Structure 1
Amino acid sequence: MRNVKNYLNLFIEYLQIEKNYSKYTIVNYSKDIEDFFSFMEEQAMIHLEDMTYNDTRLYLTKLHNKKYSRKTISRKVSTLRSFYKFLVREEILTENPFTLVTLPKKEQKIPKFLYEEEVEQLLTISDCNTPLGQRNQALIEVLYGTGIRVSECCNIKLSDIDFFIETILVYGKGGKQRYVPFGSYAHDAIDQYLSVGRKVLMSKLKVSDQHNYLFVNHRGTPLTDRGVRHVLNDMIKKAASTLHIHPHMLRHTFATHLLNEGADMRSVQELLGHEHLSSTQVYTHVTKEHLQRIYMSHHPRA
């Protein structure tokens, strides 16, 4: 199996250099392929070309028996299809046994979102007279006001913000860049945080440890995804709410509220940084529910 591991290393280099995939994505690709190698060893396969279409059916059966979700199985098959496609392109193999494998249909889960009253409640929790309160207010205004991913939010640097035209340069998946607008509420919250709160928090760092990241924790170091989750959970507790919130819910809320107010799908797709329109279309299920509720509440013949 030594040559097989070498091929994996080549594929990882390809994902890093040519595809510019994130570390998180590459880790998942590697794990999926390593799991596949374990299956090959169980089936006494030594070479990648030993894999046939019939073997792929056996592999799928094994994944189903392990009770993997359809989404996980689809990801694993997609990973292996890409892996074999790369090896065929490099003329290491002549056939891709996963070409004809059909992916199981994904479960259509309607994204959870916050109603406007719930968002308003969250926006009044922070004590804006304290440095951390100012940071928290700026954080939630940016997440809800722009719809960016939490990882994108944590990576914002001061140099990425243009207050004059109210846009933020965001670095998305695969290193792709896009500009997202922000409104007056986010503008004011960021401005107050930068004028007072961030300076106080950054004063805890040595001069040699100073950095350019917008959001920082109580020690002055850059805020992480985990830190954002902690901040939101703390805000929920202060609101005495039974609501369970995760950071991505604010992104779902951003998209849902835009569509409910009549924004077109393509514009929302661009704002969210979705590569495919199908990723954005999931929010139409929510807006249809919203429209149906309005119809049933207000139409005289409903």
Structure 2
Amino acid sequence: MENVLQDYLHSLLVERGLSHNTIISYGQELKEFFEFLKIQKINSFDRIDRYTILNYLKHCDAEQKSRNSIIHTVTSLRQFFDYLVTENKINSDPMLKIDTPKSAHHLPQVLSATEIQALLNVPDTHKKLGVRDRTLLEVMYATGLRVSEVANLKLDDLRLEMGLITTIGKGDKQRIIPIGDVAIHWLEDYLDGARQILLKGRTSDYVFLNNHGNQMTRQGIWKNLKAMVRKAGITKDVTPHTIRHSFATTLLENGADLRTVQELLGHADISTTQIYTHVTKRHLTEVYNKYHPRA
């Protein structure tokens, strides 16, 4: 069964051309499913039926996985069992009678302008890592890049003289994003100073480096951000995606149209971007209730 799983993940890369991060995500979900099968003493695909799947989804719910996480798990299992049928590994698909749960629509968590400024003030810019962290925050808030896009940002992606950067997003789609003067200032300062110190005479194509002069990982960026959020006294559950949400919300609250924000975020479907309209409407209601005498 493990060998079949590896063959399937390989097919996602070779035949479907999915990104490395997407394949890792599918693989992790399926490995958790396989662990459940071991506990249930199920060692053959033929022994998996609809009730096995339902019991697993019940197990996921008991583990307090989010609704959207369970939905993604169902999608992963559906595609995997479709592959098994296609490859004649099983005769019947146990997912055919499994309904996909409806997604839970949660408004994205965002930071206020005051909280953003408090976060930006945390890094000690008299130190090399402080300059890097301040630059990192400025770039994330100025561009709305995903954490993977920030980690993979290379020197060749920067067109600072034109006020632009390029990035490769989901589906290996390239997009060009404007970047403001403040973020450009910090980038130039970091590239000329702290980054050279971190390199210690070596070379690297990547913009953001760790203390050893290597490319910062997504996990490293996430860990650093969590520490800075605590120091800023922000009690919200902040992740790199929160900065991206805050970027989009700031644009919409200041008059940007939805199509422009869609392009900047790299959303393939505008329906993904439309969730931010609920955030901005909530903001408008709060302002109205606070300042209108007849509210």
Range class of TM-score, shorter chain: 0.7 to 0.9
Counterpart residue number, 1:21: 18
Would the aligned equivalents of 2:123 and 2:228 in 1 still touch at CA under 8 Å? yes
Counterpart residue number, 1:166: 163
Counterpart residue number, 2:215: 222
Aligned to 1:217, the other structure's residue is in SS state coil
Would the aligned equivalents of 2:115 and 2:234 in 1 still touch at CA under 8 Å? no
Q: Please state how far the C-alpha of 1:257 moved relative to its aligned partner.
A: 0.9
Q: 1:256 aligns with which of 249, 257, 271?
A: 249
Counterpart residue number, 2:101: 104
- The one-letter amino acid of 1:133's match is G
Q: Please state how far the C-alpha of 1:61 moved relative to its aligned partner.
A: 4.1
Counterpart residue number, 1:46: 44
Aligned to 2:166, the other structure's residue is in SS state strand
Per-residue CA deviation, residues 69-89 of structure 1 (Å, 9 max, x unaligned), is: 322321221111111223444
Q: Please state how far the C-alpha of 1:43 moved relative to its aligned partner.
A: 7.4
Q: 1:149 aligns with which of 146, 151, 157?
A: 146
Moved more, 36-45 or 215-224: 36-45
Between the aligned partners of 2:63 and 2:104, the Cα distance in structure 1 is: 18
Per-residue CA deviation, residues 68-127 of structure 1 (Å, 9 max, x unaligned), is: 432232122111111122344456556543244222223322221111122223334445
Aligned residues: 293
Moved more, 87-96 or 252-261: 87-96
TM (norm. structure 1) is 0.82
Q: 1:147 to 1:104 in 2, by over 3 A?
A: same
Between the aligned partners of 2:283 and 2:11, the Cα distance in structure 1 is: 44
Alignment of 1:183-198 (within 5 A): 183-198=180-195
Counterpart residue number, 2:277: 284
Q: Please state how far the C-alpha of 1:151 moved relative to its aligned partner.
A: 1.9
| 2:291 equivalent to 1:293 | no
- The one-letter amino acid of 1:46's match is S
Q: Please state how far the C-alpha of 1:148 moved relative to its aligned partner.
A: 0.6
- The one-letter amino acid of 1:182's match is I
Q: 1:301 to 1:151 in 2, by over 3 A?
A: same
Would the aligned equivalents of 1:147 and 1:251 in 2 still touch at CA under 8 Å? yes
**Aligned-residue RMSD, C-alpha:** 2.9
Q: Please state how far the C-alpha of 1:181 moved relative to its aligned partner.
A: 1.7
Between the aligned partners of 2:188 and 2:94, the Cα distance in structure 1 is: 56
Q: Please state how far the C-alpha of 1:149 moved relative to its aligned partner.
A: 1.4
Q: Please state how far the C-alpha of 1:180 moved relative to its aligned partner.
A: 1.9
Alignment of 1:113-132 (within 5 A): 113-132=110-129
Would the aligned equivalents of 1:128 and 1:134 in 2 still touch at CA under 8 Å? yes
- The one-letter amino acid of 2:240's match is P
Would the aligned equivalents of 1:19 and 1:174 in 2 still touch at CA under 8 Å? no
Q: Please state how far the C-alpha of 1:59 moved relative to its aligned partner.
A: 4.5
Between the aligned partners of 2:135 and 2:33, the Cα distance in structure 1 is: 45
Gaps of 5+ in 2: none
Between the aligned partners of 2:216 and 2:62, the Cα distance in structure 1 is: 40
| 2:260 equivalent to 1:267 | yes
TM (norm. structure 2) is 0.84
Between the aligned partners of 1:70 and 1:131, the Cα distance in structure 2 is: 41
Q: Please state how far the C-alpha of 1:297 moved relative to its aligned partner.
A: 2.3
